[in-house]
Chains A and B, each alone.
Chain A
Amino acid sequence: SAVISQKPSRDICQRGTSLTIQCQVDSQVTMMFWYRQQPGQSLTLIATANQGSEATYESGFVIDKFPISRPNLTFSTLTVSNMSPEDSSIYLCSVAVSANTGELFFGEGSRLTVL
């Protein structure tokens, strides 16, 4: 298994500002993902965080809005840039310990409210 810590757990932000969410895993993992869950909605994959290279974004998400870093196999950050109220969501970090078993673990999420 993997223990995932996300910071901050929640925050209230002003329109136009940016916020960086951190995801720390207690062991080296092969894959890290960032998901968004808008209020009352399901989870949508934002991007796959690739170690040492640019993240791979899903359709509808761009690097300028959601820059992602992954400097090593245990840590990643997601920045929500130039926030608007529509960015109010829970952002979740997810990791795959092994590419072959399909085991995926989630952090507790970061609940952002943009005023």
Chain B
Amino acid sequence: AQKVTQAQTEISVVEKEDVTLDCVYETRDTTYYLFWYKQPPSGELVFLIRRNSFDEQNEISGRYSWNFQKSTSSFNFTITASQVVDSAVYFCALSVQAAGNKLTFGGGTRVLVKP
């Protein structure tokens, strides 16, 4: 069975501060994908990134960066120089190819960026 843990339920920062969201996953499968989604107050899920289990390279996209470490089963997400528009709930998720790509979500981390 798969499991995703986001230990931080809520983080509050002041604009321009950096914020790091933790994600720890569990799976016995060797082929899997990790995701981050953003859910703003409007409710839709916005895809941010997908990483497969064979690619441990860190990635940077604008103010967003991701740190994937298989040794610690973690896939952490950092927002640099946060903005008010970053306020949302962020979900980390895992899918394994053997299970038909069904997503297992973490509990989500609510980020509040204050002006």
Which A residues contact B (CB, under 8 angstroms)?
Answer: 31, 33, 35, 41-45, 48, 90, 92, 94, 96, 99-100, 102-106, 108-109, 111
Number of A-B contacts (CB under 8 A): 53
Q: Are A43's CB and B101's CB within 8 A? A: no
Interface size band for B: 20 to 34
The interface residues of chain A lying within 8 Å CB-to-CB of B105 are 42-44
Q: Are B47's CB and A102's CB within 8 A? A: no
CB contact under 8 A between A94 and B103, given known A102-B33, A102-B50, A108-B43: yes
Q: Are B91's CB and A42's CB within 8 A? A: yes
The interface residues of chain A lying within 8 Å CB-to-CB of B50 are 102-103
Is residue B41 contacting chain A, with contact meaning CB distance below 8 A?
A: no
Q: Are B106's CB and A111's CB within 8 A? A: no
**Cα separation A100 to B47 with both chains bound (whole Å):** 18
The interface residues of chain B lying within 8 Å CB-to-CB of A102 are 32-33, 50, 52, 95, 97, 101
